[in-house]
Structure 1
Amino acid sequence: MAVTLKNGYKMLIIGLGIRRMDNKDIKTVLIHAIKVSYRHFDCAAHYKNEEEVGEAPAIALQAGPLKREDLFITTELWNSDHGHVVEACKDSLKKLQLDCLDLYLVHFPLFTHMHAGVGKTKSVLREDGELDIDATISFETTWHAMEHYNKKGLW
């Protein structure tokens, strides 16, 4: 089932989340999921499995008759990458073996200090053990960056 958005684009409402899967099993699980008609896959940079997730659709698309527009791939911007939206998106695209995403989400609505590098998704804790939140980056800044690069066709 799909929901048709105002722009005519269809978003599949049932998907397979790839959070707690063993990385070595992901390709096999997704290939079987595609065979039984799953078309929406939800992953995230933070899960550190985008490379494995990207293998199954690549295999399925090569085998045919499935086309890229038959799949709906979602991934997410990690907390420490809010100041690096385009770099983080391009890193995810490379790992997923895609030219564009169908949906790019903000993983969690806080921004953390200590950018560890795109794709590292490290959450830095303060000395007291609490998450080190960066209040200098606004939601609006991230949103505008995502809008800007959406217009460029990355997602």
Structure 2
Amino acid sequence: MHRDIKPDNVLLPSKQSGYENVKLADFGASADFSDRRCFRDVEGTSYYVAPEVLTGTGYDEKVDIWSLGILLHVILSGYVPFHGKSEADIFRNIKTRSLNLNGSPWQEISAEAKELLKAMLQKNSYRRLTLAQIMAHPWLNKETNESESEMLVDSY
């Protein structure tokens, strides 16, 4: 698991290559979770840290799904969902506040995108989606299919 997924650690491809070439950088906080051990150390950047990291009860690779959900929220809205004036405020809000997808720009965002976001930012990590479930989600596949269709139309 990476444990510090945030915009600074996402490397975008050049204009000539496709988005399949997006890469993650900075594996200084990463850990091998293959032996299914439970992690307890606090790692990551405050806005992107999963609630279970902050409770000290232990966590697994699902912390990266949470961070990807925060990143998706930022991409769709332009702001982080849990903020505060201090790191303590941010951590308290991550642990206690509900995800709010009301108001601007959320009325312009599709129901499927919001459904995916809610499932990625599920505070109960056992109910949070897996990476395979995210990749199979209708919103991602719909967007991919629409983009491919647009590219086909544009090429004629």
Given the two structures, how large is their TM-score scaled by the length of structure 2? 0.28
Select the structure that is richer in helix. Answer: 2
Given the two structures, how large is their TM-score scaled by the length of structure 1? 0.29
Select the structure that is richer in strand. Answer: 1
